[in-house]
Amino acid sequence: MNRIGRRSFFQGALTAAAAARVSGANDAVRVGIIGLGGRGTFHLGTWSKNSGARITALCDINQAAREQAQAALRKVSTPAKEFADMRELFASSEVEAVSLATPNHWHALSTIWACEAGKDVYVEKPASHNIFEGWRMIEAARKHSRMVQVGSQGRSIPHIQRAMQRLREGVIGDVYLARGLCFKRRRSIGKTPPQPVPAGIDWNRFLGPAQMRPFTMNRFRYNWHWFWDTGNGDLGNQGVHQMDICRWALDDPGMPEWVLSSGSKFIYDDDQETPNTQHAAFAIDTRQIHFEVRGLPTGPEGGLGPRTSNTVGNLFLGSRGWMWADHSGYQVYLEGSTDPVATEAAPKDDAMPLHVENFLQACRERNHKRLNADIEIGVNSAALCHMANISYRTGRKLAWDAASRRFSGDEIANTLISRDYRKPYVVA
């Protein structure tokens, strides 16, 4: 059986009330957190501070991570039930929604399983690990009437919302180019040899849909981002946030007509597979998106002022001027002016609490249109990152056929739309 007998596994776990739950305004949504590493720690802190939610379950393949999360939770709330297998958590009647902070290659399957079990889902970005499984995530959310919010927190940041509104009002005229910048300094990860799997870690479950590999520390703690089996490079890590805002500025278009991406892993001799320097260009009607990743030392861009090691944000070019937007605010410049004609500064706050609150509101109202980053938005933004990586890996410009949902005349590129799933962890 390709999908671990999910129908029989979840049989009896769903009730009519759980499948079609409508929370009252004062109900606390019972939440299970899956993935308790670095990002999962933020999830734990955010959910534990929200009065509209109660953490009832913790899940990780790492026993030590479960114990550490439980100890942190005990300081602020009652203990939660622990799970080593997410499928058992999905079957629990004590969980109504799940917060997924797993590695990228688990996002799709865990979201689909959760939807099938009648749970609403908050899933970290990128929505999917490849293009194909993103489509399946949308289908599962709609079929089972689930709220699925992707962790593109920029959609819930007030000053970014206002910046997008200014663009729609024509503050810089007609926007013809949206640029995403991910100039984020990344040090070499070095080389770590295969070793026995540490006690308390279920390596088979960690790999899940990915092919079996020997355990190494680089493939496990955070650096899984830089391996194609489990991550998507910095374009699909930090960069997907800015890619999402590029799409937002262009009114959330669908797939582009073509993509061209190039780059390399420069300087370092280490285990990393994904590029540390990458440029991608996309054609969307008469407009374009350009995206650039720089992980090595670099300067600022476009007169953006002093930066330390990172410049992460968006540039929008229009017929009358340009706008820069990032976590600290936005500035608008018109043609011929060296001073901004509009500006807004913002505190550097964590946007996740606002994003979680938006998710909970949609859960209570049972209306996915209330989500700031509904699964369809997140899947389409991730798809552009995947398209760029496919162009990079094949080394050529690729044309997209919207009707067939394939690259035109390029079977090698088409094999990378999905992946070779390791049974029984198959997205079908």
Q: Of 315, 294, 293, 291, nearest to 243 (Cα)?
A: 291
Task: Please write the tens of the pLDDT for every residue from 265-281.
Answer: 999 999 999 999 999 99
pLDDT band at 99 (very low <50, low <70, confident <90, very high): very high
Q: Of 208, 215, 202, nearest to 65 (Cα)?
A: 202
Q: Residue 154 and residue 293: Cα distance in Å, rounded? A: 18
Mean pLDDT of 9-28: 46
DSSP character string of 159-185: HHHHHHHHHHTTTTSSEEEEEEEEE--
Task: Please write the tens of the pLDDT for every residue from 159-176.
Answer: 999 999 999 999 999 999
Q: Which residue has the higher pLDDT, 302 or 397?
A: 397
pLDDT at site 22: 41
Give, for 248, the enclosing helix (H) or strand (E).
Answer: helix 239-249
pLDDT band at 378 (very low <50, low <70, confident <90, very high): very high
Mean pLDDT of 316-331: 96
Do 320 and 122 form a contact (C-beta atoms < 8 A)? Answer: no
The pLDDT mean for the chain works out to 93
Mean pLDDT of 5-16: 43
Q: Of 75, 418, 106, 386, nearest to 256 (Cα)?
A: 386
Least confident of 338-347, 355-364, 373-382: 338-347
Q: Residue 113 and residue 97: Cα distance in Å, rounded? A: 12
Q: Is the pLDDT of residue 12 over 70?
A: no
Q: Is the pLDDT of residue 1 over 90?
A: no
pLDDT band at 4 (very low <50, low <70, confident <90, very high): very low
Q: Is the pLDDT of residue 23 over 60?
A: no
Tell me what percent of the residues of the chain surpass a pLDDT of 90: 89
pLDDT at site 300: 75
Specify the amino acid at residue 364.
R
Q: Of 276, 272, 274, 269, nearest to 298 (Cα)?
A: 276
89 alpha-carbon distance from chain centroid: 22
Mean pLDDT of 27-51: 96
pLDDT at site 207: 98
- Crossing angle of helices 352-365 and 38-48, in 10° steps, is 60
Taking the CA atoms of the chain, what radius of gyration do you get in angstroms? 21
pLDDT band at 347 (very low <50, low <70, confident <90, very high): confident
List, in order of start, the domains of the chain with CATH numbers.
6-155+353-375 (3.40.50.720), 158-347+383-402 (3.30.360.10)
pLDDT band at 19 (very low <50, low <70, confident <90, very high): very low
- Which residue blocks in 282-327 are alpha helix, DSSP H? none
Q: Is the pLDDT of residue 308 over 80?
A: no
User: What are the C-alpha distances in Å from 321 to residues 106, 173, 281?
Assistant: 42, 7, 21
Q: Which residue has the higher pLDDT, 348 or 272?
A: 272
Mean pLDDT of 99-123: 98
* Joined tokens for residue 352: 């996740």
Length of the chain: 428
